[in-house]
Structure formats: C-alpha cells, structure tokens
Amino acid sequence: MFIKVQLPWNVIIPCEHMDVKGLMLQKSIILRLMEDFTSKKATKELGYLLAVTTLDNIGEGRVRQQTGDVLFPVTFSCLTFKIFRGEVLEGTVHKVLRHGVFLRCGPIETIFLSAQKMPGYQHVPGESPMFISEKQSKIEKDVVVRFCVIGTKWVETEREFQAVVGLEGDYLGPV
C-alpha cells in the first residue's frame, strides 16, 4: 500500500557550504535532504521511503558548536510503500526452488511463496524449474503472480521487509 506522510527531519549543511544565501541555500538543503532520504531506504513504521513530494517548511538554522555545521529543521511530505497482512498484491517471480518461489513487488525483494501455499500446483524440476497446476497454468521465472500477504517481518540489519504469501483465495495465481 502506498502511504503519503509528512515527516519532520533535520538536515545538516557543512560549514564550507554556508557561504550561499537565498535560493542557493534552499537548493543545498533540498539536495542534502534527498541524499539523506535515499540512504535511509526504509523504516519499520513507514515501510520503504520512495519519494519526497514536497518540502513544506524549512526552519531557522542552528550552528552546531562542535563542527560549525548548520542544522536546519525541515518538514516535508513523502510517499512510502508498506505491505500489510491480508493485502492482495502482484509480484514477479525471480527464483524458483523446490520448496517455493521468491517474488519481487515494488521495492520488496524477499517475498516467499511456499509450495504448501500453492494448492493444486506441483514442482517440475529441470533446467527451467517451475510449478504447474492441473489446469496447466505455470509459475516460473519472470511470471507475474497475484498473491495474498500472510505475514511480514522487519529485518533491522538489512533495513528491509520480508514477506510470506499464499495463493489461497479467489483470483490468485499467475496473471
């Protein structure tokens, strides 16, 4: 699910860049905000940080005594992506194993669809392994699959989510 949120953040501008004024200072603040935003990647509460949409407010800068850098409090709006239990989404298969498949959905790389959660599908090993149903529909590499989220897990060390999904329900499976 896409979520639009407004966040307060602190942007630090190094003292050597503080000789600029007006629009050039605003540009420096925006560029630093964008750098910090992209390096953050994701948070447990908000999900994946996708894009800054608007810079709503730039507060008055405060000089940091230790370094001489200037800290600007900013408020901005951004778009995030987080999946929730029970949500129906689509993902692309990128790895097929005997026990299930791994999918990608947006910024999430680790979505596991277990063979046990694919009723009616049988694993077919070989050079191009796949799962095939009695109705001859195939789940193989690069196929788009509609699935239901069973659960998610935040992995702090990787700063990303992992999800377990299934095909139990109406209109789920290869698209």
Report the pLDDT averaged over residues 107-126: 94
Predicted local confidence at residue 169, as pLDDT: 83
How far is 52 from 35, CA to CA, in rounded Å? Answer: 11
The residues spanned by each domain of the chain are 2-81, 88-174
Q: Domain 2-81 belongs to what architecture?
A: 2-Layer Sandwich (3.30)
Q: What is the pLDDT of residues 142-161, one digit of tens each?
A: 999 999 999 999 999 988 99
Q: Tell the burial category of 145 from Cβ atoms under 10 Å away from its Cβ (0-12, 13-18, 19+).
A: buried
* Structure confidence by residue, pLDDT tens digits, 27-65: 888 999 999 999 999 999 999 999 999 999 999 989 888
Q: Model confidence over 57-115: pLDDT tens digits?
A: 999 989 888 888 889 999 999 999 999 999 999 999 999 999 999 999 999 999 999 99
E strand or H helix at 31:
helix 22-40
Same-fold call for 2-81 versus 88-174: no
For domain 88-174, the CATH class is mainly beta
| pLDDT score of 64 | 85
> pLDDT band for position 171 (50/70/90)?
confident
| Model pTM score | 0.83
Question: How many angstroms separate the first and last alpha carbons of the chain?
Answer: 19
